[in-house]
Protein backbone atom coordinates (compact mmCIF):
# COMPACT_ATOMS: atom_id res chain seq x y z
CA UNK A 1 0.00 0.00 0.00
CA UNK A 2 1.42 3.40 -0.96
CA UNK A 3 1.47 6.22 1.62
CA UNK A 4 -1.15 8.02 -0.44
CA UNK A 5 -3.51 5.01 -0.43
CA UNK A 6 -2.85 4.53 3.25
CA UNK A 7 -3.75 8.14 4.08
CA UNK A 8 -6.89 7.95 1.97
CA UNK A 9 -7.97 4.80 3.78
CA UNK A 10 -7.23 6.31 7.18
CA UNK A 11 -9.15 9.51 6.38
CA UNK A 12 -12.08 7.54 4.94
CA UNK A 13 -12.18 5.30 8.02
CA UNK A 14 -12.17 8.30 10.34
CA UNK A 15 -14.97 9.97 8.38
CA UNK A 16 -17.05 6.85 8.70
CA UNK A 17 -16.80 6.43 12.46
CA UNK A 18 -16.91 10.15 13.25
CA UNK A 19 -19.00 11.87 10.57
CA UNK A 20 -19.03 15.06 12.63
CA UNK A 21 -15.27 15.47 12.25
CA UNK A 22 -14.04 16.84 8.92
CA UNK A 23 -11.37 14.20 8.48
CA UNK A 24 -9.85 16.00 5.49
CA UNK A 25 -8.73 18.86 7.73
CA UNK A 26 -7.42 16.82 10.66
CA UNK A 27 -3.69 17.29 11.26
CA UNK A 28 -1.61 14.18 10.73
CA UNK A 29 -0.19 14.36 14.24
CA UNK A 30 -3.45 14.98 16.10
CA UNK A 31 -4.18 12.25 18.63
CA UNK A 32 -7.32 10.42 17.57
CA UNK A 33 -8.28 9.61 21.14
CA UNK A 34 -7.31 12.76 23.05
CA UNK A 35 -7.51 15.54 20.44
CA UNK A 36 -10.43 14.27 18.36
CA UNK A 37 -12.29 12.67 21.24
CA UNK A 38 -12.79 9.19 19.79
CA UNK A 39 -13.88 6.85 22.58
CA UNK A 40 -13.00 3.17 22.73
CA UNK A 41 -16.05 2.21 20.69
CA UNK A 42 -15.30 4.78 17.97
CA UNK A 43 -11.69 3.63 17.91
CA UNK A 44 -12.73 -0.01 17.56
CA UNK A 45 -14.90 0.99 14.59
CA UNK A 46 -11.97 2.89 13.12
CA UNK A 47 -9.67 -0.14 13.40
CA UNK A 48 -12.43 -2.27 11.88
CA UNK A 49 -12.56 0.02 8.84
CA UNK A 50 -8.75 0.02 8.50
CA UNK A 51 -8.68 -3.74 8.73
CA UNK A 52 -11.42 -4.22 6.14
CA UNK A 53 -9.99 -1.63 3.77
CA UNK A 54 -6.46 -3.03 3.85
CA UNK A 55 -7.19 -6.72 4.29
CA UNK A 56 -4.80 -6.62 7.26
CA UNK A 57 -5.29 -8.45 10.50
CA UNK A 58 -4.76 -5.78 13.14
CA UNK A 59 -4.12 -7.08 16.66
CA UNK A 60 -5.00 -5.27 19.87
CA UNK A 61 -1.27 -5.08 20.64
CA UNK A 62 -0.88 -2.90 17.56
CA UNK A 63 -3.44 -0.28 18.64
CA UNK A 64 -0.77 2.03 20.13
CA UNK A 65 0.76 2.26 16.64
CA UNK A 66 -2.48 3.75 15.32
CA UNK A 67 -2.66 6.78 17.60
CA UNK A 68 -2.59 9.45 14.85
CA UNK A 69 -3.32 9.57 11.12
CA UNK A 70 0.43 9.82 10.39
CA UNK A 71 1.08 6.77 12.57
CA UNK A 72 -1.65 4.87 10.71
CA UNK A 73 -0.02 5.73 7.38
CA UNK A 74 3.34 4.40 8.61
CA UNK A 75 1.73 1.25 9.99
CA UNK A 76 -0.30 0.52 6.85
CA UNK A 77 2.55 1.23 4.43
CA UNK A 78 4.84 -1.16 6.29
CA UNK A 79 2.32 -3.94 6.63
CA UNK A 80 0.06 -3.89 3.60
Binding site residues, another protein, CB under 8 A: 11, 15-16, 18-22, 24-25, 27, 33, 37, 39-41, 44-45, 47-48, 51, 57-60
Q: Identify the DSSP state of 39.
A: -
Q: What is the CA radius of gyration of the chain?
A: 11
Exposure string of 10-38, with b = 16+ CB inside 10 Å and e = fewer, is bbebbbebbeebebeebeeeeebeeebeb
Question: Which C-beta is closer to another protein: that of 25 or that of 64?
Answer: 25
* Least separation in angstroms between CB 74 and another protein: 18
Question: Which C-beta is closer to another protein: that of 1 or that of 46?
Answer: 46
Question: Which C-beta is closer to another protein: that of 18 or that of 72?
Answer: 18
Amino acid sequence: MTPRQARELAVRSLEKVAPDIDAGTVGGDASLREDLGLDSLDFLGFVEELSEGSGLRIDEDDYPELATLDACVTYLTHRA
